Amino acid sequence: MASSLHPYSFPASFHPLPHLSTRSLNPRHSNRTRFTPIPIRSMLQWNRKPELSGETPRVVVITSGKGGVGKTTTTANIGVSLARYGFSVVAVDADAGLRNLDLLLGLESRVVYTAAEALNGDCRLDQALVRDRRWSSLELLCISRPRSKLSLAFGPKALTWVVDALRSRSSGPPDFVLIDCPAGIDAGFVTAIAPAHEAVLVTTPDITALRDADRVTGLLECDGIRDIKMIVNRVRTDLIRGEDMMSVLDVQEMLGLALLGVIPDDAEVIKSTNRGYPLVLNQPPSMAGLAFEQAAWRLAEQDSMKAVMVEEEPKKRGFFSFFGG
Amino acid sequence: MASIPATLHLPRLRSLPPLIRIRFLSVAASPNSQVDSFPSRRIHLKNLVIRAAGGSLDSGDGKNAKDPAHNELEGGGVDPQRMGLSLHATISTIRAPLLRMKGSSFDMKYAVWLCIAFAASVVVIFVRQIVVRSHRRERQGSVADLIRRGQLRSDRRGISKPLRYDDPFNNPLVKAGEGDSTIEMFGKVYRMAPVTLTREQQSSHQKRRSQIYQWKSPTVFLKEGDDIPPDVDPDRVRWIPANHPFATTVSDIDENLARENVYQKHGAPFRIRVEHEAMQRKIDALQSRQKSSKTPHDPNRSTRDFERQINSARPQEQQETDLPTNQHLEHPTSGRDSDEITTTDELKKL
């Protein structure tokens, strides 16, 4: 029996993205294209430790609605970045049937117990936490085994208990609890968002992801989560310049959310995923890794982007550029 | 080593071919110098010999007799004297600068440096080829190559150095300008645009979404077909299909117990403790049953009785052959083996 307020049911006349048109695909047609010189603050931060703001533990759910936009990649990289900054992080993979966060962190062979076993009494919760050997302040908690069913008898309360238990653990509460939300708005989504106080919405600049992102944002706001920031993933400036992709500012105009980060499309993401080595640990850092680092920085300081990269400019070449100078 | 003629030989006018060839016959050192010690010794050229050679009847090898141009000349009726005069005039014009070069040390130095440069380039190419081949041999199949291709994990190999916090963003590939609205990343300059989302715009979007998405977060998950509990809002029920691949509403423990399990910080987990206690109760029950029996449990006596039964059940011949084996029957496991043998024999008899 479905209720009349089911999230799948929308008025037929409703267009969740009223501003979407071919004209808006081009950032140059936007009214905001009068670029004025601005001081670049919070674009890149370095040489100081980010200041943790807000009440700890910060319980952040990373969600999108649409699958395959980079939720798990974002969770892994932001988690590792926060651990590099010196914060204690517990990354919870709330995707019951299709968990992948352990693979991205390279911890898949060390997951013995999960939160489901902790609920059943097969282990304690601290035994289900997998500590990363690279950064000991990062811990992973999987909610269930890959081929087992998660018992939803207690509803979303189970994950709330887990977060409360983490808050009251003897070694002190973690600074961040990052919850990797499964795709869709099914029972997994409801379970994942239950203990969260803030949300990071991951989307790509295409209309399918934007429609789902808008819908998920609405559900999060209905659930009482007001602090929602957005990460626009897989941005390609060459496509934006050729008017084949929406610009980040257009995405922001459609969703009306503060920007936590803009991640450029980078082949290094696939490489790091297959290696089980998060992108932010690459040496030398890649563009996407750097963008994840900055997003984690802003998340820690509860900051948002003040300026975004819109397109590539031809580099000014010097007098001796012919000789490689 | 060729000898150095000291004169410029002019061709004989009679056998002059139509093509004029100025040929550097020989460039060599003085008779005392040795070419073998070329790189290390300074070489002085005294004479640069330039000879304009035509049909070269002097060479005597007869090659020029087969020259088609020469044959054409001979049968063509061209005035050789006239051509000879023109050649003489030509040579006289080029003779002056060439002879001016004669005797100067610049030409020799130039040739030496040319040879040195040529030899150096050959050596460089050779060394580079060796280095590239050895480097290629190292790369193929190496750990670094496998990691680069993604077939090995770098963190398991211990060759990666983790980044430290000390300077996480001191990246020379990123240059952020303070004054202008550009940023240079990885060799590319990007233009920056300010974010102009205002609070009013955010609140208007929130208002729009609140009008569209009126959703109550489910608090109870029920299997399809179950009855809604009386104290639960129907709008807050999420119905889970019975064949949901990843979720089930069935649980073998109650809610309070699950909560206690999650909050447990020390000691054995609940299920391990329960299993341990159940096993302990079973052992206690077994021991109490043995104590309650009248005859005390004597393992040696029961073993002896068991042996007696086995020996009586076997034929005499087999008892004699198995005599060394029976000595090992003191061990309880050996007793089990003989028991198996006995039972199989009995089965055969039956």
pLDDT in tens, A275-293: 888 888 877 778 888 889 8
Which helix (H) or strand (E) segment is B75 a member of? helix B68-76
The total number of residues written for chain B in this structure: 350
Note the pLDDT of residue B115. Answer: 93
Q: Is A220 exposed, middle or buried (0-12, 13-18, 19+ CB in 10 A)?
A: buried
Given a cut of 80, whether residue B22 has pLDDT beyond it is no
Note the pLDDT of residue A164. Answer: 94
Dihedral in degrees, nearest 10, Cα atoms B250, B254, B259, B261: -90
Q: What are phi and psi of B19, to 5 degrees?
A: -95, 135
Is residue A261 assigned to a domain? yes
Is residue A6 assigned to a domain? no
pLDDT digits (tens, 9 = 90+) for A193-213: 999 999 999 999 999 999 999
Contact flag A152-B270 (C-beta cutoff 8 Å): no
In the block, tokens 């997998």 appear at A130
**Please, are residues A306 and A41 in contact by the beta-carbon 8 Å criterion?**
yes
Residues of chain B with Cβ-Cβ distance to A120 below 8 Å are 252-253, 258, 261, 271
Is residue A312 assigned to a domain? no
Q: How far apart are CA A138 and CA B238, in angstroms?
A: 33
pTM for the whole structure: 0.62
CA angle (A150 as vertex; A147, A154 as ends), nearest 5: 175
Q: What is the DSSP letter of B294?
A: S
CA closest to A40 among chain B residues: B178
Note the pLDDT of residue B312. Answer: 56
Q: How far apart are CA B316 and CA B332, in angstroms?
A: 23
Note the pLDDT of residue B161. Answer: 54
Count of domains for chain A: 1
Is residue A51 assigned to a domain? no
What is this model's ipTM?
Answer: 0.79
Q: Give the best residue of B195, B214, B249 to mutate against chain A (max A CB count within 10 A).
A: B195
CA closest to A83 among chain B residues: B165
pLDDT digits (tens, 9 = 90+) for B190-243: 878 888 889 999 999 999 998 988 888 888 888 888 888 888 888 888 888 888
Give buried/exposed letters for B23-42 (b at 16+ CB in 10 A, else e): eeeeebbeeebeeeeeeeee
Is residue A1 assigned to a domain? no
Q: How far apart are CA A296 and CA A300, in angstroms?
A: 6
Residues of chain A with Cβ-Cβ distance to B234 below 8 Å are 1, 3
Under 8 Å CB-to-CB from B144, ≥6 apart: which residues? Answer: B159
CA closest to B153 among chain A residues: A275
Q: Determine the residue type at B121.
A: S
Give residue A261's domain range: 60-306
Contact flag B194-A307 (C-beta cutoff 8 Å): yes
Question: Which of B346, B335, B340, B341 minimizes the C-alpha distance to B302?
Answer: B335
**Please, are residues A294 and B181 in contact by the beta-carbon 8 Å criterion?**
no
Under 8 Å CB-to-CB from A121, ≥6 apart: which residues? Answer: B253, B257, B258, B261, B269, B270, B271, B272, B274
Name residue B237's beta-bridge partners: B220
- Give the residue, B310 or A24, on which the prediction is more confident: B310
Given a cut of 70, whether residue A272 has pLDDT beyond it is yes
Which helix (H) or strand (E) segment is B138 a member of? helix B106-139
CATH number of the domain within which A102 lies: 3.40.50.300
The total number of residues written for chain A in this structure: 325
Question: Which of B186, B164, B163, B191 minimizes the C-alpha distance to B175?
Answer: B186
pLDDT digits (tens, 9 = 90+) for B122-145: 999 999 988 887 776 655 666 677
Q: How far apart are CA B33 and CA B45, in angstroms?
A: 10
Q: Give the best residue of B215, B226, B271 to mutate against chain A (max A CB count within 10 A).
A: B215
What are the DSSP calls for B84-112, one per residue? HHHHHHHHHHHHHHHHHHTT-SHHHHHHH
**Please, are residues B239 and A187 in contact by the beta-carbon 8 Å criterion?**
no
Under 8 Å CB-to-CB from B81, ≥6 apart: which residues? Answer: B13
Q: Determine the residue type at B218.
A: P
CA closest to B225 among chain A residues: A1
- The residue-averaged pLDDT of A93-113 equals 88
Q: What are phi and psi of B221, to 5 degrees?
A: -105, 125
Confidence of residue B92 (pLDDT cuts 50, 70, 90): low
Under 8 Å CB-to-CB from B161, ≥6 apart: which residues? Answer: A283
Given a cut of 80, whether residue B152 has pLDDT beyond it is no
| Mean model confidence pLDDT for chain B | 65
Is residue A54 assigned to a domain? no
Is residue A70 assigned to a domain? yes
Give the Cβ contact number of residue B341 at 10 Å. 15
